[in-house]
Each structure stands twice: as C-alpha cells, then as structure tokens.
Amino acid sequence: MMKNFAAIFLLTSVSFGQLQLNGAGATFPYVIYSKWFDVYKKKTGIQFNYQSIGSGGGIKQVIEGTVDFGATDGPMSDEQLAEAKTKQGTDVLHIPTVMGAVVATYNLPEIGSDLKLTPDVLAGIFLGEITKWNDARMAAVNKDRKLPDKSIIVVHRSDGSGTTFIFVDYLTKVSETWKTKVGKGTSVNWPVGLGGKGNEGVAGLVKQTDGSVGYVELAYAVKNNLSYASIQNKVGNFVKPSLESVTAAAIGESKSLPADLRVSITNASGKDSYPISGFTWLLVYANQKDKTKGKALIDFLKWAVTDGEQFAAELLYAPLPKDVVKLCEKKIASVSLP
C-alpha cells in the first residue's frame, strides 16, 4: 500500500522536468541536510525532497526502493542489507555525513554542572542498581563535591530513536550486565525509569524533576543550556561532550574503521574522545539505475562530505575528521552508474 503511494508521489515529482532527488530517514541530521539541500540547490538547481520520518522508516524505504537515498542514525543490520539486495538487486552503501553525541543530563541544583560519571556508574544508574546520588561509586569519582542523599529518577526516550540507539550501544559495550539483560536497539526494554517523548520530553522531565537524570542529543542540550556530565572514556580521562571531543572520537577510531563504514564509534579510543558519539549516514545504492539521477547524487555526496562540512559546527553537528572524509570519498567513487 505504502509503496503505491510513494510511487505515485515519485511520478508527480518527476513530471515537472526539473531533476529532483527523493530521500527519507533520520530526524537527527535533518537540520544540516536541509541546509545542504538549500545551498546545493542554489548552486546547481537540483531539487531535494527529504522526509524526516525516522531512521527506521528511512531504512524501510531504501529496502522497498521508494526513495533515491535514505538516511539513518543506526547502521542497517546484515539481514536488512540482504533484504535490500534481494529486493533491489544492489548493495546499499553507508556514507557517514556528520557526527552527533548523546549526553547525560541531570538535575541536581546543589551540584551544578560538570558532574563526573564512569561507564560503570552510568550503566548502574540505568540498570536501576545505583539508586542514590551519594552512592559510594559515584562519590569516589566526585570527591570534590558533596553529593546529596537523594533518589535518582531515571528518564529515557519513550519513542524509538537513533539517540537511544547510540546511548544503549555505548552501555552494551561498557557493561556486560546491560548487554545480557537489555541489549541495544532504537527502543529497548528499560529496567527502570520514566519515558519522555522526544528530546524535549526527556529534557522537560529532567528540568522539572529534582534528582533526575536522562539522556539527550548534545545539540539539544547545548541549545537549551542543560547541565550534562563528563564521561570517563576508554583510556580513563573524563571528557566533557563538545563538538571537538566528538570529532576526536572519530579520529580515534579512523584507523580501525571497517571497509563498509558501517560502524559504531561509541567507547572510542583516544585520550580526548567523548565516548557516546556516533555517525549519521546517508544510504545510497551501489549500482544506480538512473544515469542522470545517479550522477547528481554522486556529485552531491562529494560536495557534502567536503565543502558541506563547513556548515556543521554552526548547526551544532561535529564535522567529520579529514581521514574519514577520505574514506567517504573512496566509498562515493565506488558507486556505479548504468
């Protein structure tokens, strides 16, 4: 049913003669993508129609072949890639575009900003094992603070989202208990806590509730002046989330990125790396079916990962480091035209 609607939609959009590329997917990179589409249209006249329906929806549309490109915050699984291959007869490539991070935001008026959290403590809180702010494990890394004897109220996202994926992907890497008990996905079975809808729902609950802790996108936390914690990274440093420390995470991992670039960079190595960081990807077919459209898409991708990156910082996305841009260009060059 959905496919038919999308097909009708595509027909109407193509019939105007002007070249238009249709995409759908992640909401997180929507702001920078719209900027790119806008700037690129002024430059070349190519129209983009991007529907930010969520990463899951983007992957579905790529599998069904109803869009020219997709976008996602969590990489496609092997099964999904196989399904896309059977249905569309081509591989799907992951092209990283920008990076984001997830921060632990909290409401403790007596502490203020810059609380320190270790991976163990963070996992313990979200597992419901650490229930008081003055827990010994918490106090051990915040010796300079007087932690209050308050209950911790956990807040998480209730809607399925890429933000949740990055956060639980990190917890899965740092906590064996989390891995076996909860696991990772865009929605999970949370052991404790209240669910807020969207970044604004989580942030709103945290702001209202004394003693609460939740997780939101870095960009959202910065724009709304939330207080967020420094997290201890793989090498043991406490790193404050910032665009620089997120890019640092990609630099830390750039030597060991797999060929398909379909990788999570949470818990990255490198001394300045913020550990809860992740890429967001554009999804493109390896074998393009339409020459004009394929060519336009390739040109756009090349432009986006090079010139396009300059718009990232002002829109609070972390730009890709040079090494990763090179890998992207190589990947884009491998897209074949009919």
Which residues contact other proteins by CB under 8 A?
A: 1, 53-57, 59-60, 77, 80, 151, 153, 158-161, 182-190, 193-197, 201, 204-205, 208-209
Q: Which is nearer to other proteins, 60 or 116 (CB)?
A: 60
Q: Which is nearer to other proteins, 40 or 178 (CB)?
A: 178
Measured from the CB of residue 183, what is the shortest distance to other proteins in angstroms?
Answer: 4
Encoded tokens for 257: 């990125």
Contact predicate 270/256, CB 8 Å: no
Measured from the CB of residue 298, what is the shortest distance to other proteins in angstroms?
Answer: 27
Measured from the CB of residue 159, what is the shortest distance to other proteins in angstroms?
Answer: 4
Measured from the CB of residue 161, what is the shortest distance to other proteins in angstroms?
Answer: 6
Cα(108)–Cα(212) distance, integer angstroms:
8
In degrees, rounded to 5, the angle at the alpha carbon of residue 108 between the alpha carbons of residues 105 and 110 is 145
Contact predicate 284/71, CB 8 Å: no
Alpha helices in the chain (DSSP H): 2-14, 30-44, 55-64, 78-88, 119-127, 136-141, 162-174, 176-181, 198-208, 218-223, 243-254, 291-305, 322-333
Q: Which is nearer to other proteins, 41 or 150 (CB)?
A: 150
Measured from the CB of residue 156, what is the shortest distance to other proteins in angstroms?
Answer: 9
Cα(67)–Cα(195) distance, integer angstroms:
32
Measured from the CB of residue 2, what is the shortest distance to other proteins in angstroms?
Answer: 11
Q: Which is nearer to other proteins, 85 or 302 (CB)?
A: 85
Residues 6+ apart with CB under 8 A from 135: 121, 124
Contact predicate 199/217, CB 8 Å: yes
Output helix, strand, coil percentages for the chain, rounded to the nearest 5.
45, 20, 35
Q: Which is nearer to other proteins, 23 or 294 (CB)?
A: 23
Q: Which is nearer to other proteins, 196 or 252 (CB)?
A: 196
Q: In which order are the strands placed within the sheet that holds 92-106?
A: 47-51, 20-25, 69-72, 277-285, 92-106, 212-217, 153-157, 194-196
Residue 256, SS3?
A: coil
Measured from the CB of residue 5, what is the shortest distance to other proteins in angstroms?
Answer: 14
Q: Which is nearer to other proteins, 76 or 320 (CB)?
A: 76
